[in-house]
Structure 1
Amino acid sequence: MSSSHTRGRRGGGGADEVLPWVIVAVFGICLVTFFGAWLGGTIGAAVSGAGWSPPEFALQSMADLVNEGPSALWPDAPVGAVICGIVLFFVLGAALIVWVVLAVRRRLSKPKGLAGRRDLTTLLPKQAAEKARSLRPSLAKSGKLDPDDTGNLLGNLEPNGPELRSSYEDVELHLMAPRSGKSTSIAAPRMLRARGAVLLTSNKADVYTVTKAERQRVGTVWTFDPQGIAHTPRTMWWDMLSEAATIEGSMRLAGHFVGAVNDDASKKDFWISAAQNTLTALFHAANRGQRQVTDLLGWLADPADRTPIDILNDAGMQALAAQLQGTIQGAVETRDGIFETARQCVACLLDPRIAAWVTPDSQVAQFSPNRHVHSKDTLYLLSKDGGGSAAGVIAAMADSVMRAGAVAAERMGGRLDPPMTAVLDEAANVCRISDLPDLYSHFGSRGINVVTLLQSYRQGSRVWGEAGMDALWSAATIKLLGAGLDDADFVEKVSKLVGEHDVSTVSISRSKDGRSRSTSYRQERVMPVDRIRALPKGTALLLATGIRPAMIRLRPWFQEPGAGHIQAAAKAETDAMTARAARGVMEQL
């Protein structure tokens, strides 16, 4: 009985300890409620014309308000006005409380250990403007700069930070899964905001339809669409064989076609290497002999044809001619294997629709990379994925434009002004430039802002090999990692790069001497693997050289001011594209 009595006393003691706090809470709620009614009613009465005459803030006033209503405290004011003032005050108060709670939740939800505003000073608008003036002589004496003159918009710092911009000497790598914002938040905004010449590679027409009308406002639009991605008629041609004027150029041109069919550019077997050497000789012979693509295909179809050898000898290229002759005169099985591999590499040129885009035609304009880099024109390079794609031609043309930009920059004193923007969307599918990782840092120092978009790290490794992709990752000064990254090894690597931070743990122990409190610290990942994988759409992890990682919110083009007329133009272009596609189907029937 004694034990039971003791438990009852303990329980009662607990209730006795809670009761004073309940009384205080009830009194506090009544006080805050009366204050809101007192102030809101006074404001409502003042607005109605009764003047500012607050009643006495006392318990009697509270009782009068409850028992007799608003007229007891504000007899000269309309009851409706007083009630409206009270209701409005409470509505605004509730909205303020909700806003504060949400702001606190957003701040608490941001992982500790990521970069804040102070860490990102070089990417903030003021510092971006200062850097732009130092990089672009044309802006040195300008007044207030347009934000797009200062650098590329990356997004807004989470949760409520300012916008962040990379400089025009940065080169970027963006890894995002399909339908996570690559086109709407990266590719299209880059083109809409670009200040100089623009280049885009893609296997879809979505960015083309959104940006074409806006780019036409500032310069000429060139659309290289040999496979009818946007169903545009052919209004241009490009002299592809002019790139083979030197041995180096011929080798690069051959490498683009080889890379289009070779899954890993870092691994070339005997047949691939031999085919590239043969194509190098044939491309150079076609250039020296002023021949066309059809002649090149004829030489590949008939290895016994001595025309390319004779052309090389006449041009004084005896060593290259001897190498080609050695291949032709080798064992039949080896020769046929080499030529068959070479034929597969340039198989896309067998399609007359594709070959027409790289064959001289006096009826349409000729595209010149050297002129393009000095203009504000736009070049769209569109190609399908898979077999029969024009990826080799697309890669060759993109490489030609970027190398022309590098040459122009050297002649201008080091950098292009305004800078050129090269958006390599689906770079692993339609623009496999084998030495792109090695060119990255060079392009950045020349005012060529290269933006490479990939679906995953593994996709890039498949094209450039592990070493090549590591080099591309290291060379990129700006890296954005968006939603949908499912490569466990890569996400683990990123989690380690983001780093760790100290997490405090409070321990409370009780004894007969009282209660003690101690705090211990442990290391914990700032961004665990599962959190990186579950990044919500519209956000991205920013890794910038020399700066702690930061979380940013992307800014899609359709959420920006003035998006209405862009949407209207995009719809008109989409409708026109659909009509062209329908006409094409009817013509085939």
Structure 2
Amino acid sequence: MDRVTGRSPSTGGVHDLAPWAIAALAGASLAVFTVGWAGGTLGAGVSGHGWHTPPFALSTATRLTGEGPGAVWPGTPAAAVYGGMIALLAVIALPAALVVRLLVERAGRTKGLAGRRELAGMCPKGIEARARELRPSLEGRERLHPDETGNLLGDLDPKGPELRSSHEDVELDLMAPRAGKSTGIAVPRVLRAQGAVLLTSNKSDVYAVTRAERAKAGRVWTFDPQGIAHTERAMWWNLLGDCETIEGARRLAGHFVASVNDDAAKKDFWISAAQNTLTALFLAAARRGASVADLLGWLADPADRTPVDLLRDAGLMAMAEQLQGTVRGAVETRDGIYETARQTVSCLLDPEILAWVTPDPYLPEFRPDRHVVGTDTLYLLSKDGGGSAAGVIAGLADATMRAGVVAAERMGGRLDPPLTAVLDEAANVCRISDLPDLYSHFGSRGINVVTLLQSYRQGARVWGEVGMDALWSAATVKLLGAGLDDADFVQKISTLVGQHDVKTPSLSRSKEGTSRSYSYRQESILPPDRIRALPKGTALLLATGVRPALIRLRPWYKEPGADTISAQAKAESEAITARAAARAVGGVRLEKRSRWERDAAPA
């Protein structure tokens, strides 16, 4: 505001800019004349008409514009003169264009975020050096494929380079639905994996895109008890295989309990008692070779003393006494505990689900210990909500990753090549209750885990606030994508990103003249509204020890070879549709047959 007139500083702005405009016009004219003068001389000399330099004066410019190049460089063809001018202009323009491009890129980059220098350890050279330290199998090789060096995250915004996480990083990604989790993270991570792969999902999209390519790397195991991809059962897994120890039985029981408990941090009496009872039953069945069907029978009849006797025969007296105490307790309490336990494993009452965890002599058994040291792929597909096989899915995923830990210890501490575990929809179909505690341990063993959630609050609902905070802290790489609508969480992220100084000019006028002053204020580098409005396909990268950065995800369909993969995905999707239609027709036929048998039965 003008101190004298009270008018806006913009008043009289034309007069303030006039001297600058005159100076700019004079500078541009001088630059054009210099290029013409030097370029014309260059053209004349190169064409063999002598290196006669005309005077660097206004008169030369007048003659050149009025009479043409022949008056300044006599005897020299005009084409040679103009050619020299164009050549000199090109020599000057190319570096200038590069400088302008760099300035534009720097201006377009959000100030205060990490750049190429801060992220050098995640750039190609830095990540390759780290990979050679972590993977002994790469020793002695001069050239490495980029996928051997680390896990692709995306390109630094706006112009790169590509950034990768190392093989000891564990990742947590928060993005809203349809923000690029599958196309930009899950699918590329599965396609680029160098070792064994584990994927959990409640949809068939990632399976359809990646199955054909992963079949080229090794065997594809599809655990699909609820018909997400409508695949025929071609495997079975021993549900009780790791339950011969109390720890293994308790972990499996915990997976089934977590599948029905909305908050793992809040376990009431019935949930805790049901987990203890399931632990005892799993242990009894595993120690004496009983089947899962036998275990369901014990749950249906609390008075059955078989599991107590089996525990005693196995020498587990304390566990047997505890189970017997539950059975002999007050009827109301006993029935409540057993009913809660029955609800947690209710998915096993479905014969189609039970078949996948029952030994079958005609089908191969999936062995987690063998899977983690190869290049096979395991797809774990399940519906979410009531009746889902989430407990079974979590149990198999946990068994596979723990088998990876054991294999890593045998290899000297780290899997090589690493195991890639993509826990998509982890909060719905893969509720491993102690995942936050295991996260950092997985990274040190060469198990590259990436957990995909729709929001921070979704994770807090499963693992509790304390558990989700632990998972957040343990993840060495975090990607926050589009559509994060939790105001409190987004505000915390804005605070983590930090603030930067903003220079603000002010103009004042007085009788003595015009003066300009500057003041500084702090603003958020990324305000909450901007974090919430991140475009689809971009993400905020939070890596340990580095300032936050913006990256652009690289969807699989924009990568080389996408046409072939797209054709394979289309064929797989059509096959899934055909299998679904055949299953629906089969179900209708079976229902009609059942009705006919019922109607034909004698009264």
- Aligned residue number for residue 495 of structure 1: 494
Cα deviation 1:358-405 (Å, max 9, x = unaligned):
001111111000000111000000000100110000000000000000
Higher mean C-alpha deviation, range 313-322 or range 517-526? 517-526
Aligned to 1:133: 132
One-letter amino acid of the structure 2 residue matched with residue 113 of structure 1: G
By how many angstroms is 1:109 displaced?
3.4
Q: Structure 2: 5+ residue runs without aligned partners?
A: 1-11, 42-48, 55-59, 69-74, 589-603
Question: Which residue pairs with 2:184 in the alignment?
Answer: 185
| SS of 1:458 mapped into structure 2 | helix
Task: Please give the TM-score of this superposition, normalised by the length of structure 1.
Answer: 0.87
Indicate the residue corresponding to 1:270 in structure 2: 269
How far off is 1:291 after superposition?
1.2
Q: CA deviation at 1:161?
A: 2.6
Q: Check the 8 A contact 2:150/2:167 in 1, yes or no.
A: yes
CA distance in 2, matches of 1:235, 1:15: 80
Amino acid at match of 2:430: C
- Counterpart in 1 of 2:372? 373
Match of 1:107 in 2: 106
TM-score when normalising by structure 2: 0.85
Cα deviation, 1:421-477, whole Å, max 9, x if unaligned, reads: 100000000000000000011111110111000000000000000000000000000
1:497-522 deviation line (CA, Å, top 9, x unaligned): 11122222233333333333333322
Q: CA deviation at 1:110?
A: 2.3
Change (3 A) 1:119 1:337: same
8 Å contact from structure 1 (residues 238, 360) kept in 2:
yes
The equivalent residue for 1:3 is none
Deviation at 1:307, TM superposition (A): 1.0
Give distance in 2, aligned partners of 1:532 and 1:59.
58
- Whether contact under 8 Å (1:34, 1:62) holds in the other structure is no
Find the aligned partners of 1:586 and 1:367 in 2 and give their Cα distance: 30
Between the aligned partners of 1:389 and 1:536, the Cα distance in structure 2 is 33
What CA distance in whole angstroms lies between the structure 2 residues aligned with 1:170 and 1:327?
A: 44
Aligned partners of 2:468 and 2:348: how far apart in 1? 29
Aligned match of 1:439 = 438
Classify 1:28/1:261 alpha carbon distance in 2 versus 1 (closer, same or farther; 3 Å). Answer: same
Distance 1:225 1:519, change over 3 A: same
Indicate conservation of the 8 Å contact 1:382/1:394, yes or no. yes
Task: Give the aligned partner of residue 221 of structure 1.
Answer: 220
| Alpha-carbon separation, structure 1, partners of 2:105 and 2:482 | 19
Q: CA deviation at 1:356?
A: 0.5
Report 1:408-423 matches (<5 A). Answer: 408-423=407-422
Q: Confirm whether residue 529 of structure 1 aligns to residue 523 of structure 2.
A: no
SS across alignment from 1:153: strand
Counterparts in 2 of 1:518 and 1:150: CA distance versus 1, 3 Å? same
Q: In the alignment, does 2:474 pair up with 1:475? A: yes
Which residue is equivalent to 1:309? 308
Match in the other structure for 1:6: none
Alignment map for 1:80-229 (pairs within 5 Å):
104-229=103-228
1:241-289: CA deviations, max 9, x gaps? 1121111100000000000000011110000000000100111111122
Q: Which amino acid aligns with 2:191?
A: L
Give the AA of the match of 2:514. R
Q: By how many angstroms is 1:131 displaced?
A: 1.0
Which stretch shows the higher mean deviation, 19-28 or 354-363?
A: 19-28
Could you say if the C-alpha distance between residues 247 and 30 of structure 1 is closer, same or farther in structure 2, counting changes exceeding 3 Å?
same
The whole-number CA distance in structure 2 between the counterparts of 1:41 and 1:574 is 66
Aligned amino acid, residue 385 of structure 2: G
More deviation, 511-520/498-507: 511-520
Task: Give yes or no for contact 2:33–2:61 (8 Å, CA) kept in 1.
Answer: no
* Structure 1 position 120, deviation (Å): 1.0
Distance change >3 Å, CA 215–CA 23, structure 1 → 2: same
Q: Which moved more, 1:379-388 or 1:554-563?
A: 554-563
> Does the 8 A contact of 1:107 with 1:159 survive in 2?
no
Distance 2:23 2:251 in 1: 81
Residue in 2 that maps onto 1:455: 454
Deviations 1:143-171 (CA, angstroms, capped at 9, x unpaired): 11111111101111112131111110111
Distance 1:38 1:224, change over 3 A: farther
Matching residue of 1:558? 557
Could you tell me whether the CA contact under 8 Å between 2:169 and 2:477 is conserved in 1?
yes
Q: How far, CA to CA, are the matches of 1:276 and 1:138 in structure 2?
A: 43
Cα deviation digits, residues 285-325 of structure 1 (max 9, x gap): 11122111111111111111111111111111111111111
Identify if the C-alpha distance between structure 1 residues 19 and 378 changes in structure 2 by more than 3 Å, giving closer, same or farther. Answer: closer
The answer to whether 1:239 aligns with 2:243 is no
| 1:155-203 CA-partner distances (Å, limit 9, x unpaired) | 1111213111111011110011111111111111111111111000000
Q: Percent identity?
A: 69
Q: Tell me the distance in 2 between the aligned counterparts of 1:106 and 1:14.
A: 30
Distance in 2, matches of 1:176 and 1:158, equals 18
* 1:506 matches 2:501: no
**CA 1:434–1:60 in structure 2 vs 1: closer, same or farther (change >3 Å)?**
same
Contact 2:195/2:419 (8 A) holds in 1: yes
CA contact (8 A) 1:202 1:383 kept: yes
The one-letter code of the counterpart of 2:262 is D
Displacement after TM superposition at 1:97 (Å): 10
Contact 1:236–1:367 at 8 Å: present in 2 too? yes
The total of aligned residue pairs comes to 566
Q: Secondary structure at the match of 1:308?
A: helix
